[in-house]
């Protein structure tokens, strides 16, 4: 039994030495394959150089675009926040016009005139900085520029036409600062259709 075990051990040792020799031979053949000729090395380095130069050019273009965008749209968030000023001018004017105590006074008219002057100056500053009001009323609803808040039955207008502007929208060059909040027209439902719908429910 001891002889059998010792022979098995010897076989294992021989197998291990054979496999280790084979693995050494495999490594040598891999190293031989990995070794490149000088021409191949030059070709590989040229390819790496071309890829690196292309990456650098792409990075330069990205940087230029980001720089241009930062220059053109740098005041984008400031402009968006400034839109509240126009909204507040409109609310103030409407509030003063609806105040019964001062409704027909000369003082009210002077205040309204001054508010209009300040608002015009603000709009002029916006235009100089490429901020424009979105024209909405009587236009077709454009989901890129308008946000429909409600539908109004109106047979005189084509369905989907903006009939009321709830809040003005603005854009800066080609970018949307704020969509116009609008009401759009829809066909008037006939009484027969309304009765049928109620009956189905």
pLDDT mean over 2-18: 54
pLDDT given for residue 14 in this prediction: 53
Q: Is the pLDDT of residue 23 over 60?
A: no
User: 107-160, pLDDT tens digit by residue?
Assistant: 888 888 888 898 899 889 888 888 888 888 888 888 899 989 988 888 888 888
Domain locations along the chain: 2-71, 82-129, 133-201
Identify the weakest region by mean pLDDT among 38-52, 69-83, 127-141.
69-83
Sheet strands side by side (includes 146-153): 146-153, 180-186, 162-167
Residue 132 near residue 109, CB atoms below 8 Å: no
Residue 153 near residue 184, CB atoms below 8 Å: no
Structurally, at CATH architecture level, domain 133-201 sits in Roll (2.30)
For residue 192, count CB atoms less than 10 angstroms from its CB and return exposed for 0-12, middle for 13-18, buried for 19 or more: exposed
Question: Alpha-carbon distance 89 to 140, whole Å?
Answer: 27
**pTM of the entire predicted model:** 0.54
């Amino acid at each position: 039994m001891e002889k059998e075990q010792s022979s098995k051990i010897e076989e294992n040792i021989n197998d291990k030495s054979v496999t280790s020799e084979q693995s050494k031979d495999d490594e040598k053949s891999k190293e031989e394959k990995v070794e490149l000729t000088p021409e191949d090395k030059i070709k590989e380095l040229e390819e790496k150089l071309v890829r690196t130069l292309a990456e650098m050019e792409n990075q330069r273009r990205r940087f230029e675009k980001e720089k241009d965008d930062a220059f053109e749209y740098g005041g984008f968030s400031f402009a968006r926040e400034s839109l509240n000023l126009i909204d507040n001018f409109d609310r103030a004017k409407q509030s003063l016009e609806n105040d019964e105590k001062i409704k027909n006074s000369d003082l009210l008219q002077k205040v309204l005139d001054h508010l209009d002057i300040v608002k015009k100056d603000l709009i002029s500053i916006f235009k100089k900085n490429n901020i424009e009001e979105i024209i909405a009323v009587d236009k077709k609803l454009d989901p890129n520029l308008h946000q429909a808040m409600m539908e109004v039955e109106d047979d005189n207008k084509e369905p989907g036409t903006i009939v009321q502007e709830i809040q003005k929208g603005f854009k800066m060059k080609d970018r949307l600062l704020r969509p116009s909040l609008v009401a759009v027209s829809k066909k008037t439902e006939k009484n027969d259709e309304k009765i049928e719908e109620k009956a189905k429910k």
